């Protein structure tokens, strides 16, 4: 990925537009989601830049995904949006490409989706870290390998869970996985502080050894 200037600089310039977007949709935590997922408004980036306070209804991330606010004020996520000009998509994450264990060390929260692959019924995990820089970084474990993916893969409901639980004290089970974009089924979700509490690590060691190894390397 090509790296570009600070996303914080861009979001500061668009602060009023971001707040307008949340106010219009009345979706709690949408401002957090836009900023933490490093989203940018399509009209602003792909067309003539206008600093007027306008409602941006379509935003995109650095993995080529987008979300659009429909006429019912709901969010529709498009994964691998072919309408985006990929030549203008650049990476603004200064820590992109760091190893999973290093990302865990520089994070303050982690969201975990644990399930099974719907075809081969193998372990499938989605780990999403909230860094000390308040940016989300997601990693998918599938077919025995980790790969960095878009936080939008979590879906709006799971992103909202993080937004509503920023002051978590230990760890909580956050229900069943409901995001069809993931390749795994029969999932359960957890949200925990980082470094992860002893009780959470013990549970992971018992039921999800692959995930426990990530955090054992950081204890």
- Encode pLDDT of 29-61 as tens digits: 999 999 999 999 998 888 766 667 889 999 999
- Averaged pLDDT of the chain: 87
Using a cut of 0.75, tell me whether the model's pTM lies above it. Answer: yes
Contacts within 8 Å (CB) and 24+ apart, 93-100: 93/7, 93/38, 93/62, 93/135, 93/137, 94/3, 95/131, 95/133, 95/137, 96/1, 96/3, 96/148, 97/148, 100/127, 100/139, 100/146, 100/214
Residue 186 has a pLDDT of 61
pLDDT range class, residue 2, cuts 50, 70, 90: very low
| Domain edges within the chain | 7-88, 100-216
Q: Can you tell me the mean pLDDT for 132-161?
A: 92
Write out pLDDT tens, residues 58-96.
Answer: 999 999 999 999 999 999 999 999 999 988 888 888 888
C-alpha distances in Å from residue 168, one per residue of 19, 30, 85, 159, 193: 24, 19, 39, 15, 7
Q: Which of 117-121, 126-130, 153-157 has the lowest mean pLDDT?
A: 117-121
Closest by CA to 111, choosing from 101, 126, 123, is 126
Q: What is the pLDDT of residue 147?
A: 92
């Amino acid at each position: 990925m090509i790296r570009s200037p600070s996303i914080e600089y861009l979001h500061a310039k668009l602060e009023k537009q971001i707040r307008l977007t949340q106010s219009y949709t009345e979706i709690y935590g949408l401002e957090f989601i836009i900023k933490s997922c490093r989203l940018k408004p399509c009209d602003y980036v792909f067309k003539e830049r206008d600093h007027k306070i306008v409602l941006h209804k379509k935003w995109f991330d650095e993995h080529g995904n987008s979300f659009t606010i429909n006429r019912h004020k709901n969010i529709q996520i498009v994964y691998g949006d072919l309408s985006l000009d990929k030549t203008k998509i650049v990476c603004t994450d200064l820590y992109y490409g760091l190893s999973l264990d290093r990302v865990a060390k520089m994070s303050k929260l982690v969201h975990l989706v644990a399930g099974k692959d719907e075809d081969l019924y193998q372990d499938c995990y989605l780990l999403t870290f909230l860094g000390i820089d308040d940016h989300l970084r997601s990693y998918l474990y599938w077919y025995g390998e980790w790969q960095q993916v878009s936080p939008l893969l979590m879906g709006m409901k799971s992103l909202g869970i993080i937004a509503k639980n920023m002051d978590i004290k230990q760890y909580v089970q956050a229900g069943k996985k409901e995001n069809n974009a993931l390749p795994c089924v029969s999932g359960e979700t957890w949200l925990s502080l980082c470094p992860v509490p002893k009780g959470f690590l013990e549970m992971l060691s018992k039921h999800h050894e692959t995930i426990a190894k990530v955090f054992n390397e950081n204890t």
